[in-house]
């Protein structure tokens, strides 16, 4: 035995570190939880530090690289980085690609915490941010300046489910040499791949559809090698990498992602159509509906499905909305989205302490607006659950 000459105090630190037999081509990749790999000598370290072997987990890890390869495959990008959350991916990208004096154009309807990032962090480092309606080409063009370096957008806005014409945004940005960074969380690579439309960087909160089971927190960044090399240098310093265990679980979730999201897209379309016919519903926001203001654009950009997010409006009555939530038997209120079970959220409540009631109404977040993240249940069960709960809004005789 290798450690027979040392004491038990020392031997127990080393024994059992190596497999007893060769481990060849396991069907499922193992989890590489070690924070570091042994270096043979100085030459070996030089080789490792140039990216030719694994030696420190924050720098590179096999499980994380496996996920990055899967994301690059789905997005048809050259390289991906996997982060500890969606916000880590957004922060790392923006702080890496923009500098003091740069101007960023973004949507006035993006994820709330991305707005906080712009207002509290980005501007603190001397960058300027302009919020516009990215569905209005003329408004975007008017916002462009000589120092505009990034247009940051989502494809589907939250919670009003408006569609941004990514082709138009790319055209405007690239005419002035600006980059287009897209948060494509709502669309997923199975609805739309922004890089194929000319975007420079695509970001996902993998916590949502990539993970899909409401038990993982992660994010990713994908783009061409030139930009990703620049982002990677800061990514290492920010320490926003995903841990090996979560990476392993994420890859497992990605294997079934297409089946999940395809079912979610189909369910969302059917549920939107059913809600639109319900007498208690004032209107439904979902791009496949022919009365959606950007229906034709959505069908052009997303012929395989318009995502699994929709919203609808009922009576602006807080008590009745609460009772509606209580009456739902399957669907639950959840502060996230993209899981395999259908959930709802109340946008006005989510931002009640950040904005005044007047601002919320101006942003379209009335008390009667409810957002749905559609899951993979039998859609008839979902429709029945919403129908019975919506009867709380029946007019008193």
Give the CA diameter of the chain.
Answer: 91
Q: Residue 278 pLDDT > 70, yes or no?
A: yes
Structure confidence at residue 80 (pLDDT): 98
pLDDT at 396: 55
pLDDT at 2 (0 to 100)? 65
The string of pLDDT tens digits covering residues 170-208 is 999 999 999 999 999 999 999 999 999 999 999 999 999
Could you give the percent of the chain with pLDDT greater than 90? 86
Residue range 136-145: mean pLDDT, rounded: 98
pLDDT tens, residue by residue, 331-369: 999 989 999 999 999 999 987 877 788 888 887 889 999
């Amino acid at each position: 035995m290798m450690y027979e000459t040392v004491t038990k105090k020392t031997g127990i630190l080393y024994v059992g570190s190596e497999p007893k037999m060769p481990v060849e081509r396991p069907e499922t990749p193992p989890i590489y939880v070690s924070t570091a790999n042994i270096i043979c000598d100085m030459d070996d370290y030089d080789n490792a530090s140039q990216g030719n072997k694994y030696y420190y987990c924050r720098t590179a890890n096999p499980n994380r690289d496996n996920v990055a390869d899967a994301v690059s495959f789905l997005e048809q990008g050259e390289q991906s980085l996997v982060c500890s959350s969606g916000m880590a991916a957004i922060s790392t990208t923006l702080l890496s690609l923009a500098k003091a004096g740069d101007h960023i154009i973004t949507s006035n309807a993006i994820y709330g915490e991305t707005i906080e990032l712009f207002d509290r962090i980005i501007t603190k480092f001397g960058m300027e941010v302009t919020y516009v309606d990215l569905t209005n080409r003329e408004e975007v063009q008017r916002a462009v300046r000589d120092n505009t370096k990034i247009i940051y957008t989502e494809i589907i806005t939250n919670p009003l489910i408006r569609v941004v014409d990514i082709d138009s945004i790319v055209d405007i940005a690239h005419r002035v040499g600006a980059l287009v960074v897209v948060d494509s969380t709502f669309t997923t690579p199975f609805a739309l791949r922004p890089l194929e439309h000319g975007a420079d960087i695509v970001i996902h909160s993998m916590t949502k559809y990539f993970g899909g089971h409401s038990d993982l927190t992660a994010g990713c960044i994908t783009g061409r090698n030139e930009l990703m090399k620049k982002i990677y240098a800061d990514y290492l310093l920010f320490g926003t990498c995903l841990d090996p265990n979560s990476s392993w679980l994420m890859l497992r979730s990605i294997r079934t992602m297409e089946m999940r999201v395809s079912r979610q897209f189909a369910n969302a379309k059917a549920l939107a159509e059913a809600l639109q016919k319900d007498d208690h519903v004032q209107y439904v926001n979902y791009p496949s509906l022919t009365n959606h203001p950007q229906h034709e654009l959505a069908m052009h950009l997303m012929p395989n499905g318009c995502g699994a997010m929709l919203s609808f409006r009922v009576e602006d009555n807080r008590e009745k909305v609460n009772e509606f939530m209580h009456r739902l038997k399957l669907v639950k209120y959840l502060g996230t989205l993209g899981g395999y079970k259908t959930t709802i959220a109340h946008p006005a409540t989510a931002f009640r302490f950040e904005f005044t009631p007047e601002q919320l109404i101006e942003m379209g977040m009335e008390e009667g607006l409810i957002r749905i993240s559609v899951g993979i249940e039998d859609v008839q069960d979902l429709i029945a659950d919403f129908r019975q709960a919506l009867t709380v809004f029946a007019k008193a005789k």
